[in-house]
Amino acid sequence: MAAALPNRMPDDSVSYRRNDLRSDDPRQRLIVALDVSTAAAAQRIVAAVGDSVLTYKVGMQLYTAEGPRVVRDLVTSGRRVFLDLKYHDIPNTVGAAVTEAAKLSVSMLTVHAAGSGNMLRAAVEAAQINPGLMVLAVTVLTSMDANDLEKIGIRGSVEDSVVRLATIALANGCQGVVTSAREVSTLRAELGDRFAIVTPGVRPAGGNAGDQVRIATPAEAIASGASHIVVGRPITEAADPAAEARAILGQISG
């Protein structure tokens, strides 16, 4: 990043525990998406949000623009990083990529559940060099609905596809999945609560849905059984990002 981020957070507040899915501290459950194109823009968001957020998502946009340095700077400053690159390739390639990601000390990363059990196992095995790293399998993108699935040859409901893909992911060692809030309660009912569910497409009540189709409010996502929620533009584009983050933390707590 353009300048070093300050080390403001105590070590015990950012130490990641794989099984700490339902902490009383709502900051453990909120992930802010840094969907920007420069490290400087990401730095401004992190500084504006302050201590209200512990974990930031670095996705394809920022990572492609700035590379691993932006991840290293966030980790060095005491933040957790959710590396959301959605790896989907042959097992050897994905395993090699996850090995490099694990060396960056990220706390979470994503692979596509549709990549097959062999690919998922390769990712999980590669992640073991970083014991605190969670491998999350993306099920069905929150921008998609049943019509979109049918067009690519997948019949049945979105919920059926999510359950099927999540079952494969967990059977092959993934510690959690990524899905919309609409499928969370079904996943909990059918697969239990011993895994993380990260829910993107979260918008405060009355917020703009943007390009998301299957959305929910923070309170709805948590009530349905999500362990973590991802919020981007409602916080990062707010006039006061810290105040918006605190408001969402209040909704999580409520």
Q: What is the mean pLDDT of residues 203-223?
A: 70
pLDDT in the model for residue 204: 76
**3-class secondary-structure state, position 46:** helix
Q: Which of 131, 83, 14, 127 is nearest to 230 (CA)?
A: 83
pLDDT per residue over 17-48, tens digit each? 444 544 579 999 999 999 999 999 999 999 99
Q: Which of 49, 30, 26, 42 is nearest to 202 (CA)?
A: 30
Tell me what pLDDT residue 7 has.
52
Is 3 within a domain?
no
In angstroms, the first-to-last Cα distance of the chain is 35
pTM check: above 0.95 = no
Q: Is residue 7 part of a domain?
A: no
- Token pair of 81 as six digits: 């990083």
Mean of pLDDT values over 176-205: 92
Residue 166 in domain:
yes
Residue 235 covered by a domain:
yes
Out of 57, 86, 103, 151, which one is annotated catalytic?
A: 86
Is residue 12 situated within a structural domain?
no
Residue with tokens 């983050």: 245
Q: Is 86 considered catalytic here?
A: yes
Report how many domains make up the chain: 1
**CATH number, domain containing residue 154:** 3.20.20.70
Parent domain of 206:
26-253
14 belongs to a structural domain: no
Question: Is 17 within the bounds of a domain?
Answer: no
Is position 104 within any domain?
Answer: yes
Write down the pLDDT at residue 9: 42
